[in-house]
Structure 1
Amino acid sequence: MGFPSPAADYIEDRIDLNEVLAPNPLSTFFFRNDGVNMVNAFIPPKALLVVDRSQTPVNGSIVVAVVNGEFVVRYLVINEIKCLLAAANPKVADIVLTGDFTAEIWGVVTGIVTQTKDLKPCTL
């Protein structure tokens, strides 16, 4: 007969990653992060970003924006003086949104998926 496994007490239902990561599937997209702009926000190069276009970005949101035709991932910072896209890496310049830029907030980052093989010590 044998004894039941002690781990059996901790078995949970299967996790549906679609349900967890994409509660709004029609407006959820996945982007591969390219670069070190957001390393101090725990977004390493090659991370898979879960982006929900149905969410309204607010001050402090991590967003995917299109600036002058190029996708960027940054913090959205809004105050009474200016609006900017802030990098989470002190070696990368923030983008102050002025009339010189064509910019659109494309979506809000709602999840970050990384694989341990892609995590390397970052030298900034």
Structure 2
Amino acid sequence: MSFTSLGQIAEGGIRLPLCSFKVPAGFPSPAADHMENPISLDELLGVRAPSVYLVSIDGDSMIGAGIFSGDLAVVDRAIEPAHDHVVVALLNNDPLCKRLCIRGKQIILKSENPRYPDRYIMEGDEFSVWGVITYTVRSHGR
């Protein structure tokens, strides 16, 4: 699974209304009675921070983590990568999205799809974590 960096968010944006109730799947509820103060999705997702980038995901190796090809991922480069984080990394100059697994000194990049093997970082590999995925956004209108 690879990614394409879309870069940082440009200045601007609008505030959207936030409903104060959780929306049940399958049962409509009148939203007008439950409107709260407007929110900004950029503030909610933290995308205005200088360390935050958007990337487009390509591939199906992370579907078990709920990350699908075409999803937009919010990646924070200021978060220290830790065991079990889903990360965007560079391995031998190839970009990828995997779950970071740290066992002692061994680093494993785990796929969340049984069709793909885990990738063990070996001596001689060029490896760096580019950032930690904090949110993903998916279009359901395609």
Q: TM-score range by the shorter chain?
A: 0.7 to 0.9
Per the alignment, residue 51 of structure 1 pairs with 75
Residues 57 and 69, structure 2, Cα contact 8 Å, conserved in 1 = yes
Query: In the TM superposition, what whole-angstrom CA distance separates every residue of 1:36-92 from its partner, at most 9, and x where no partner exists?
Result: 010110001100000000001110000000011111000000012621110101101
Larger % of helix: which?
1
CA distance in 2, matches of 1:36, 1:8: 38
**Alignment length (residue pairs):** 113
CA shift, 1:13, in A, is 1.7
Per the alignment, residue 91 of structure 1 pairs with 115
After the TM superposition, list the runs of 4 or more consecutive aligned residues in structure 1 that deviate by more than 2 angstroms.
6-9
Residues 100 and 108, structure 2, Cα contact 8 Å, conserved in 1 = yes
2:54 pairs, out of 21, 30, 34, with: 30
CA distance in 1, matches of 2:127, 2:65: 22
Does residue 1:62 correspond to 2:59, yes or no? no
SS at match of 1:9: helix
Residues 47 and 74, structure 2, Cα contact 8 Å, conserved in 1 = no
2:139 pairs, out of 102, 111, 115, with: 115
Residues 24 and 52, structure 1, Cα contact 8 Å, conserved in 2 = no
- Indicate the larger mover: 97-106 or 46-55: 97-106
Per the alignment, residue 78 of structure 1 pairs with 102
CA RMSD of aligned residues (A): 1.5
Per the alignment, residue 103 of structure 1 pairs with 127
Residues 42 and 48, structure 2, Cα contact 8 Å, conserved in 1 = no
- Give, as a single letter, the amino acid of the residue that structure 1 aligns with 2:74: V
CA shift, 1:23, in A, is 5.7
Structure 1 gaps of 5+ residues are 1-5, 119-124
- Give, as a single letter, the amino acid of the residue that structure 1 aligns with 2:109: L
TM-score by length of 2: 0.74
Per the alignment, residue 122 of structure 1 pairs with none
Per the alignment, residue 15 of structure 1 pairs with 39
